Each structure stands twice: as C-alpha cells, then as structure tokens.
Structure 1
Amino acid sequence: MVRGKSAERMSKNRPDVVEALPRMVVEPPAAPARCRGRLVERARWEWRPTDGGDPAARTEEFLADHGLHLHDLARPAPRHHDPDGVCGAALYVSAAAGALLARGAVGAANPADLPEVAVVVYGHTDAPPARPAAPAGWWRGPWTESWTRRQHADAVDAVREAIGHGEVYQVNLVGHAAAPYTGDPLPALARLGRLPGARYGGVLTGDGWAIGCASPETLIEVRGGTLTTRPIKGTRPATAAGRADLLASAKERAEHIMIVDLERNDLARIARTGSVRVDDLFAVRRWCDLWQAESTVRAEAADGLGLADLLRAVCPGGSVTGAPKLAALDRIAALEPVGRGASMGGLGWVDAGGVDLGLTIRTAAVDGDAVHVWAGGGITWDSDPDAEVAEAAAKTAPVRATLD
C-alpha cells in the first residue's frame, strides 16, 4: 500500500478522501451485476517490484487462502453464490507486472504511485459503511503530456525502421498525460466507467490510489473451462463513412489479423491441443464515438491450468504490445519515456467459477498528486505518423472529457 511521502502529501494537501476509499462499497469491473452496490472489502494484497517473489503465484495463493481456489480452471467449482460469504475478488495486474511475468523488458517507471498487482476480496453488506464527507466539487488542472506530437511521430518512425530491419512486425506505442487535481476523484472515475461500450466499466481503489476503467476489450475470460480473448485493433470515427473505411482498410485488417494470430499462439500454450479457434473475425463494435474492430478467440483450458500460469501466458495483452511480443516489449521499453502505469494491463473479477479480466485501455488512475491517463495504438510498416498521433488523441478524448 502507499505509505510515506505520498500518503503524507495527500493528508497535507487535501482531505483524505482517496485514502478512505477502501472502506467504501465500490463497483469493480466485471463484478456480478446482482452484487453491485453490496460489495464490501474483506481482505487485500498488493505487490510492488521491491516486494520480490512471483506475483502470479502469490496472487493464486492469496485467493486460495480466502476460499477462492483457482488451481484448475479446466474444472471450475460449481457457481454457488453465498450471500454471507466471499463473493469474489477484484484483480489488477499492471502492464509492467505482465512484462515481468512474460520475462520481457519492463520499460520506464510507473508515473503514478500505484501497486503493480492488487487483489481485493469482497463479501456482501446490506448496510454500506458511511462515506466520509467529500470536499465540495472536483477540480482538474491542465494536462502535461509525456511527449510532444513530434516526439510521438518520431517514435512511430523508429518502429517503422525496426520493422524494416526485420526486428518486429508490429509495436503498440502508448503516451501518457497527468494533471493536478483537488476534491474527491471517485465520482469522476465512476463516470468514466459508465461511458458507452465500457464492457469493463468500474473503479478499483486502494490506500492513496484509485483506478477508473472504461475498457471495451476482454484480455481473458474463463468460464466453464473455456478460454476467451477479444482483441481490439483498428479504429475509425463512429460515422457511416468511418465504418466503411475501417472495413475496407487493408492496413487495419492486416494489423488486426497479426494480433489475432499472436493471441491464438498465447492461448495455445495453455489450451487443450487442437482446441484454439476464432469464432468472430474483424467484427466492428462501437465505443463512445469510435468504431473498433474486434475478434473473438476461444480455446478449451488444458487440465490443471491454474490462475498463475494463465496470467503468465496472456499478460501483457498482445493487442497492446505487438508481435513478436518479447521483441515488441524491447522496442516499447526503448521508446516510451513514461511507464504505462494502470493502462495496458488487466483489471476485472475472479470467483470460484472463473476469471473475467478486461484490458485496461481507456483507463485513468489517481494517486496523491495527479490524475493520469494513457492512450496509444499499434504501429505497422504502413502506419502514417501523423495519423497515429491523431488516433491516440481520439481514443483519449472521451476519457479526458469525462474527467473534467
């Protein structure tokens, strides 16, 4: 948990609203609809690199200690909902933690004071604890970008050069912005989770930090022994012309299929032999005012697949790294000036019946000093640097507007 200088700054500069959030009833992404508004924290575990150890193994062990046994996802426990017991747990794994699990380059430091892994076990309550009095209103200051438009475009050119040399086929580049704030950040983060198309809308909080998610993308879902991932790659304005252009774009389709193949390979590592399939290819879905191309890849879990091995196989998500994944992580570490923080990781829900984690695109985080946002896109040989900069701006615009 956040301690020391960050917590001291928060206490000194503004009321301890964020610090109080863990005692509140919250709605983490992918929590059961019937339980929303009734969840209360029972236990939590957070991990930072200085803690050492294997965060995937320790996550699985912590959940088992609290009655959530995810040692064999091919044979999930019957879904029995105990109103007086543990409901399930929110699980957050950052992009940096995912890179570590994949044994890839981790990249620049996290710009936000957040853990890299958080597991929060929830039970139910019919009498939510009282919320601390919040200051009157929310104020967010101006954004400070992690790189200029020119620097972003230069990074795109650097990726294209690496592709030309045969080092990678595709790399996802992500930029960051931060802004000072005062007041209670939770209502703004909750609004973010209600954006149209936010399949993984919700908020996760900790001591001195909070994450708000509006992601439409499934990193990994496991139900009934079936593994599902839904990579998104390809974006256009949500107009009739934008939809037609997305469907007709050879560049976007090639980029998308490359990531689908990567995801098929990731699932094959943990699936029953011969069970990987693509159920839906390049389907156009809407998120806010954007069309996005999404595919659905499924497989049957191999016998004995536990949560730790699942996380090692799918983190970080291929649609936000590139291909080959480890080579793409090397390029990301070399080019991105600021760490990905809460973005491009996994956030969702686990219970005795399985796992449902969204990819933390369209995500914001708050620590004791600032509110943070991230956005980016996949770069291929055919990428136009100015168009890639514009696409990242279009993706982050609804998130920033919601945080006003």
Structure 2
Amino acid sequence: MRFMIIFKGIVLEGVISTMCCPLLRVESMSQNSPHFTALPYQPGAITALFAPLSAAPWSALLHSGHACHQDSRFDIMVADPRVTLTTRGNVTELCRDGQTSLFAGDPFELLQQQLELSGITPAPHGVLPFLGGALGLFGYDLARRLETLPWVASADVGLPDMAVGIYHWALIADNQLQELTLVSYGDPAPLLRRLTAAPISQPIGPFRLTCDWRSNMSRSEYGRKFRRIQQHLDAGDCYQVCLAQRFSALYQGSEWQAFLHLLAHNKAPFSAFIRIGNEAVISLSPERFLSIKTGQIETRPIKGTLPRLADPLADERQKATLAQSAKDRAENLMIVDLLRNDIGRIAAPGSVRVPALFAIESFTAVHHMVSTITATLPADRHPCELIRACFPGGSITGAPKVSAMKVIEQLEPSRRNAWCGSIGYISFCGALDCNIAIRTLLTDQGTIHCWAGGGIVADSTEQAEYQETLAKVASILPLLTQLNGQP
C-alpha cells in the first residue's frame, strides 16, 4: 500500500510493507511479531512527527544529538503505551487495559514480570536497537527501594520515582543509514493515521522564564558542605562523594520548545524528552549508564571534567591537562572499580573487562574523562536484573555507593528525584540502553529545575569543584534565559 504524508513541510512518501526482518520471515499480521514500515528519511522528520504528541502523557523521544559521536546514530519515538508503571515511595501503580492495580513489591521485578507477560520475544534485529518494550524514567530516589537511606532532604519535586511505559510501536530514525522505520505489532495503518493526526491539546505559548535562576545553596553554604565531605573522607567513611547544587526558576510556555532550543546547542548522544502527566523531563546527557546488545554489557562512566575554551590551541591544552590529571584519574578509577563490582554481581564469571580507561571526549561546554567497562550477560538473567544490581550509577554518587548516598542525603537540601537516575529502554528482544540523567531538567507546577554536581575526593579543591558545577550548566541555563518567549 502506498502512502504520502505531508506534515509541517516534510513530505513522507513510500510503501507500507508487512514483511518482517529476514531473521523472522513472518508476513502475517501477528500481534507477537514485529512489522517494519519503511518511511523516507529526512533530517528533522522524527522531531516534526513527535511535536504534536509532545504534550501527550507518556509520549517520549530518545534523541542522539546528531553530533560526530560514536553513539549519535538512533532516535526513538514512542507514545500510547499498553501498560504503565508509576512508582511513588513504596507503591507502584500498574495500569493495563484500563485497569489500575497497586503493588508494594520491587518495581524492577514488577517491570520484568510485565515484559514477560507480553509474550513478545522477537529475535534481535540486525540494525534496529528497539523492537518495542519498556521505555521511560528510573529516578534517583528509586534507590530507596534497594537501600536503607536516611530521610532528611526535602521531597519538593512531585515527579514519580519511576515512570515506565510498555510500548507496542516505535518510530526509529537511523541517522547513519538515513532510514526511518516504524516498528509495530499488528496493522501499521492506524499508527500512520495516529502519527499525522492533529494534536488534541490546545497550543502552548512559547517558553519563557518569569524569574532569574536561583540555587538551593549559596556559595558559602557550598563551601561548608564541601568541608563536611572532606571530614567524611578523612575519617574513611567514603573515598568520593558527588555533591550537587540545584538551580530553579519559574517559567511559562512550551517545554518541548525549550528542549528543541537546548538540543540545538547541546548535541548530547543520550538526550531525551519525556512527558509525565503534565510535566516534562528534558535530558541532554552525554553519559551512558548501561547497554546490552546481543548479550554484551557496556557501561561508560564519566568522571573528570574541564570547561571548553574558545581558543582552539588553548582548548587542546585543556584536553591534555584533563588527560594528565592525577586527581581526575584517581576519581575515575574509583568509579570504574565500583561499576566493575556492580556488574560482576550479574555478569558471567570472568567476563568483566575494561577496554578503555581515561579516554577524553569533548562536548559542547566541557571535556570529559570517560572509561568503558564490558561484560557478558548470562542467558538466564534479565536486563531488569542488571539495572537493579547497578542502580543508581556510581558515577553520580561516589564510593562506596551507599555510604556516599547517605552523605548526599544529609548535605543536599532537596532530593534529586529524577536527576541522576536513568532514562532509556528495555526492548522486547532483550536489548537495553539507558543514560545517566545528568544535564537533565525537570518541570513541576510551573517551576523548572536543573542540577549540577561533581565528585569530591581527598585532594579536591573547593573553588575548582564549585566552578565545575557552573561549567556543567553553562550551556543550559543561559540558553533558556535568552530564549525567553522567542518563537
């Protein structure tokens, strides 16, 4: 069946095919086998098609930034989940087929159960990373279901601890092969109509801040907290602690417009936009948390940061300075060891490797030190078990993880909520990819929040650590200030 879509100046014309991938060789309209509809690829097509859905609850876009980066290949768009799981505190609300149930059990185990109940287990696709499945947010405070932590910081952001949908279709852009593919179960024709339907909600005005950004701690308060951490380090309670400050401002207008504006200037490979109820999560993350491809695990922790410089020669010297920094290498190595231990709880014995240590990667505003850890997932272990074993990522807590999290709870005035959790997917085929939700903004009842932190070790200096937090938001906060209602 031929089709033509003309949407916001983008023309999509092609053929709907019910032929599945060569690995499956299925031509029927089975509800348990994926079908692949090829759409003509054009730059920007996926964001244009997502725009009308951006205000719809449970719509989500994982965006690769389209930069010259090894992970800037796939963009994934979803909406209309068959199942939703929303965790707040000790209770998870499960919605399936219009029925709502409440569960007090482990959210990761409940998600695994729901994926298995779908009955969908396609073979991995040779190219496409996601064949439908779970996609959404695992917030930092979900760790309270895994560890015993104090209750000190204010829980003043209303987003849930976990918000994950199970999706039976996805639109995927392959920016390397320049292909746009609709993955679906059943007849794809209704989905094509859904993708081109006019938005139900009323148009939202342009994004603008209505006050200046304010931090939840003053410079002197940051200094006092830094010195408290040094006391914990000297006492041997921790080896490293990630201390963050939060910037907040009132705003009006379209969060989707804010995301597009930030994305244009921050081409981060693990970016995301997720609509949770009326609120939004805007992520411009450069950091992978975990991935699984054909049973192979990878994590790429970031530890070590220096700001970019305008002069190219000075910027190259800045990279060299970071690469040679003994302090940053020590900080990075601590997190590598932590993640090796976390992954080793699930991975096949003897399979954990570190193929890259202390590599320097450059992003819009900063240079980062990045290491790579790999392992093999046993055939009898589920991706949900891997996330649970490693959650939250050690690169944003410190080490030992639980001790560092207890110090964070005592010193940071507000809970992190979604920030420094993880955003990503678990495909029906067993593939997994998720970020560390850094460079991530949350909206809550007319307020937008943005955090920035850094790992503090024994030889850290207060001013350098404080400046690192400012460097990490230097390409975010001013951009939203400047946007200020412009179309």
For residue 190 of structure 1, what is the aligned residue in structure 2?
A: 260
TM-score (norm 1): 0.86
Provide closer, same or farther for how the CA distance between residues 172 and 25 of structure 1 changes in structure 2, counting only shifts above 3 A.
closer
In structure 2, the residue matched to 1:387 is 464
Q: Within 1, Cα distance between the matches of 2:57 and 2:373?
A: 38
Give the alignment of 1:52-201 within 5 angstroms: 52-67=104-119, 77-80=122-125, 87-105=132-150, 108-122=153-167, 123-124=169-170, 125-127=191-193, 128=195, 129-131=197-199, 132-140=201-209, 141-201=211-271
Residue 41 of structure 1 aligns to which amino acid in structure 2?
D
Runs of at least 5 residues in structure 2 that lack an aligned partner in the other structure: 1-50, 65-70, 92-103, 171-190, 309-314, 482-487
Change over 3 Å in CA distance of 1:175–1:67 after alignment to 2: farther
8 Å contact kept, 1:107–1:332: no
Would you say the 8 A contact 1:138–1:183 is kept in 2?
A: yes
Structure 2 CA distance for aligned equivalents of residues 289 and 32 of structure 1: 17
| Offset of residue 242 of structure 1 | 1.3
What SS does structure 2 have at the residue aligned with 1:22? coil
Deviation of 1:289 (Å): 1.9
8 Å CA contact 1:94, 1:343 repeated in 2? yes
Tell me, yes or no, if the aligned pair for 1:193 and 1:200 is still in contact at 8 Å.
no
Aligned counterpart, 2:89: 49
Contact 2:53 2:79 in 1 (8 A): no
2:370 matched to 1:294? yes
Matches of 2:120 and 2:415 in 1, distance apart?
32
User: Which residue of the partner structure matches residue 184 of structure 2?
Assistant: none
How far apart are the structure 1 equivalents of 2:448 and 2:324? 37
Which has the higher mean CA deviation after the structures are superposed, 231-240 or 22-31?
22-31
Residue 286 (structure 2) pairs with residue 234 (structure 1): no
Distance 1:298 1:374, change over 3 A: same
Alpha-carbon distance change, 113 to 194 in structure 1, aligned in 2, over 3 angstroms: farther
CA distance in structure 1 between the partners assigned to 2:217 and 2:120 by the alignment = 42
Following the alignment from structure 2 to structure 1, what is the Cα–Cα distance between the partners of residues 385 and 290?
Answer: 13
Specify which of 321, 329, 349 is matched with residue 245 of structure 1: 321
Write the distance in 2 (CA, Å) between the matches of 1:93 and 1:261.
23
Q: 1:278 aligns with which of 350, 354, 360?
A: 354
Q: Aligned partner of 1:258: which letter?
A: M
2:61 to 19, 27, 37: 27
The answer to whether structure 1 residue 401 and structure 2 residue 475 are counterparts is no
Matches of 1:367 and 1:62, distance apart in 2: 29
State the secondary structure of the residue aligned to 1:201: strand
Q: Which amino acid counterpart does residue 55 of structure 1 have in structure 2? A: P
SS in structure 1 at match of 2:55: helix
Query: Residues 106, 250 of structure 1: CA spacing in aligned structure 2 closer, same or farther, 3 A cutoff?
Result: farther
**Contact 2:58 / 2:275 at 8 angstroms: preserved in 1?**
no
Residue 73 of structure 1 is matched in structure 2 by none
- Matched-pair contact (CA < 8 Å) for 1:320–1:378: yes
Give the corresponding residue for 1:219. 289
Offset at residue 112 of structure 1 (A): 1.9
Larger radius of gyration: 2
Q: TM (normalized to structure 2)?
A: 0.72
**Pair 180,315 (structure 1): closer, same or farther in 2 beyond 3 Å:** same
TM-aligned CA deviation for residue 253 of structure 1: 0.8
Q: Secondary structure at the match of 1:263?
A: helix
- 1:276 is displaced (CA, Å) by 0.5
Q: CA deviation at 1:308?
A: 3.4
Tell me, in whole angstroms, the C-alpha distance in 2 between the residues paired with 1:272 and 1:86: 25
Give the Cα–Cα distance (whole angstroms) in 2 for the partners of residues 368 and 19 of structure 1: 20
* 3-state SS, counterpart of residue 403 of structure 1: helix
Q: CA deviation at 1:60?
A: 1.5
Shift of 1:201: 1.1
Q: Return the alpha-carbon distance in structure 1 between the equivalents of residues 323 and 358 of structure 2.
A: 8
Distance 1:203 1:46 in 2: 17
Deviation at 1:226, TM superposition (A): 1.0
Q: 1:18 to 1:145 in 2, by over 3 A?
A: farther
2:452, 2:469 within 8 Å by CA — same for their partners in 1? yes
Pairwise CA RMSD: 2.7
Shift of 1:34: 6.9
Structure 2 distance, partners of 1:330, 1:321, is 10
Q: Is the 8 Å Cα contact of residues 363 and 399 (structure 1) preserved in structure 2?
A: no
| TM-superposed deviation, 1:23 | 5.4
Structure 2 contact 58–274 (Cα < 8 Å) conserved:
no
Deviation at 1:281, TM superposition (A): 0.5
